[in-house]
Chain A
Amino acid sequence: MTEMTLVEAVNSALAYELDADDNVIVLGEDIGVNGGVFRATVGLQERFGEQRVLDTPLAETLIAGVAVGMAAQGLRPIVEIQFMGFIYSTIDQILNHASRLRNRSHGRLTCPLVLRAPFGGGIHAPEHHSESTEAIFAHIPGLRVVIPSSPARAYGLLLAAIRDPDPVVFLEPKRIYRLVKQDVVDNGEALPLDTCYILREGADVTLVSWGGSLHETQLAANALAVDGVDAEVIDVVTLKPLDVQTILDSVAKTGRCVVVHEAARTAGFGAEIAAQLAEHGLLNLYAPVRRVTGYDTVMPLYKLEGYYLPSVEQIIAAVREVLEFG
């Protein structure tokens, strides 16, 4: 057992799988000698060589497209995109190719690649470095979208993503890259995908979140507990395909739900969860589903980003609202 931060857990998972499987290739910008701008790949090129840990030219469409070609030949490419703000030129490759190659060729060619990118706000980064646009990817058929929120889950989920036979977009909440240390067993054990994780059981209200916002969500749940409100906290983890059953079961018990995410509200992934609750769980609800989210504004530069991100107080206020409804 080793104490690790989330970013160290990512590094350990990459190292484990590079060691275990010759088909694994890590590629991206500045990931070699430099170890990646967040140091997620530090030491890997030294240990596994330039053939396995590959610095690419500065061209995101190329990187994603190259990964599609490698994957079609049976390799397991793991791409690092430096920041989510630069992921958009890979969307053509992800949407038109990676996510549909299996379907187009009826399984003749497949695309077991992982596209990793740090995302989200809260680190006072420059313009274009702080957005949360996971919903764009959650809309793409044939894809998996996975977001860890703790070191242990980052380790196990990344291993699962690498071993998955289909393409996975793996988004790492950079705000919590080094927020906490946690004991992680570096034994190569993957965690299950396509399932929500219940982080805290409770009977009064269901809090649903993912990524960085889980930090505030859990703080809110702790504060509410002091006041005698027993919140259940669900980490969605795999946005696509969504394990809606876990959320429905929880809401069947609590009758109340607040969804928390950093991304802008309109057509954010919270809308999908609210819609599914309306379709399949309406009669279990005592109050409307509330969303605590970023605003439908352009993500502000860092002087105002603290106002943009969902706060513990906002979450508590939303919970009070659904508890007092009707």
Chain B
Amino acid sequence: MAGDQLNAEGVSRRVASFDIRYTQYLDMEGRPVQPLPALADDPEQIVSLYRAMVLHRTFDAKAIALQRTGSLGTYAPCLGQEAVFAAVGAVMREEDVLVPYYRECGAQLLRGVTMTELLLYWGGDERGMNFEGPRGDFPCCVPIASQIPHAAGVAMAMKYRGEPRVTVTVFGDGAMSKGEFYETANAAAVWNLPLVFVANNNQWAISVPRNEQTRCETLAQKAVAAGFAGEQVDGNDLIAVMTRLSAAIDKARDGGGPTLIEAVTYRLSDHTTADDASRYRSEAEVEENRQYDPVIRIRRYLVNNAYWNDDKEQRLEQECREAVEQAVQAYLDTPPRAPESMFDHLYEKLPVAYAGQRDELVHKGEKS
């Protein structure tokens, strides 16, 4: 039989096997390496996502600058991973739910969270998590991987109610070493949930490189052990991420269950503004990876096809700067919260037991 193997102890039989696909459409020059999928027929959408990626990058740079000048707390930049988050934001429907970690401002912006709200959050104000746009989306999640089971619960609610909605959760390569990832992947298959797992494999978890995180050849194959499909995409290739993510989301919406998409990227920035990556990786490695930059790649594609030019680029840069400046101004102009408001959303109604502590705080705030 195929897969039978003779060894010293006798014959053993292959009982399972798998293979993991990798998808890429554009090379570094933005040239197709294979016939492009249908979505390339809609250049307007690609242009608009390119614009979103540039806005995201402008916002990112501004957030770092604000942190450096003391106007923002610690921020996790996204440089080099914009294509993944543009794809997530573009492919999900409004009624779907995003359960993010902390590096996907780009996806949040496309789903309707405002830059001002994001700045409020990173600037140490809970109001930034009460965003007006996607009311069902989860806010950022700092404890690594702990958001992943929430996504299964959200997907379970969608399934229970028979709604054609999908949940997407995003996490890093480091998160995939945690139990929450394994536990949720396992349950998502058992329950056949409308859930798409998106791994942003940016090669580093702070200072720990991907190969010290796991000996798996791909992160995508971790889905196989849980009993569902996993695949890799070139995370620097917007068209590849969109295409494969779209397929996974459609499948989930049609009752086909979960998929894991491993987007292979590179974290071009420090881990956060509190990190100094030069302590653990070489500038040469970072330099090497700049050539795969997802923003440059999709721009080259658009320019190659005459959908984009220098003139448009200059106008876009100007627009993005203005939009970001406006958001920053709105952030800086946001009146501070009353200190005692920290009691306002603790419970639906503040229990009598804590009314005294609230009063204490009111008086603490008073100048003597």
Chain A interface (Cβ within 8 Å of chain B)?
25, 51, 56-57, 59, 61-62, 64-75, 77, 89, 92-93, 96-97, 102-110, 141-142, 165-166, 194, 240-245
Contacts and interface: CB of A to CB of B under 8 A. Distances in A.
Residue among B155, B157, B158, B348 having the largest count of chain A Cβ atoms under 10 Å: B157
B136 A73 contact: yes
B135 A108 contact: yes
B151 A142 contact: no
Given A66-B152, A107-B130, A73 B158 contact: yes
Contacts of A166: 347-348
B353 A69 contact: no
Contact of A69 (B150, B183, B186): B150
A322 to B, nearest CB: 26
Contact of A241 (B143, B184, B352): B352
Given A62-B184, A103-B345, A107-B130, A241 B351 contact: yes
Given A57-B187, A59-B186, A69 B154 contact: yes
A62 B152 contact: yes
B363 interface: no
A281 to B, nearest CB: 14
A114 to B, nearest CB: 14
B153 A65 contact: yes
B99 interface: yes
Contact of B348 (A102, A108, A245): A102
Contact of A70 (B139, B143, B156): B156
A61 B97 CA distance: 21
20 contacts: A59-B186, A59-B187, A62-B186, A65-B152, A66-B153, A67-B153, A68-B149, A68-B150, A69-B149, A70-B154, A74-B157, A75-B160, A96-B143, A105-B130, A106-B345, A107-B345, A107-B348, A142-B346, A194-B351, A241-B352
A92 B146 CA distance: 8
Contacts of B346: 102-103, 141-142
A104 B129 CA distance: 6
B96 to A, nearest CB: 12
Contacts of A109: 136, 138-139
B187 A106 contact: no
Contacts of B150: 65-66, 68-69, 72, 97
A73 B347 contact: no
A61 B158 contact: no
B340 interface: no
B99 A69 contact: yes
Contacts of A107: 130, 345, 348
Given A70-B156, A104-B139, A106-B126, 5 more contacts: A62-B152, A62-B184, A65-B148, A69-B150, A107-B348
A66 B149 contact: yes
Given A25-B160, A65-B148, A242-B353, A56 B187 contact: yes
B152 to A, nearest CB: 5
B135 A65 contact: no
Contacts of A61: 149, 179-180, 183
A77 B344 CA distance: 24
B190 interface: yes
B127 interface: yes
B160 to A, nearest CB: 6
B184 A110 contact: no
Contacts of A25: 160
B335 to A, nearest CB: 15
Contacts of B347: 102, 142, 165-166
A93 B154 CA distance: 15
A95 to B, nearest CB: 10
8 nearest interchain CB pairs?
Answer: A69-B153, A65-B149, A73-B157, A241-B353, A241-B351, A106-B130, A62-B183, A69-B150
Contacts of A56: 187
B154 A73 contact: yes
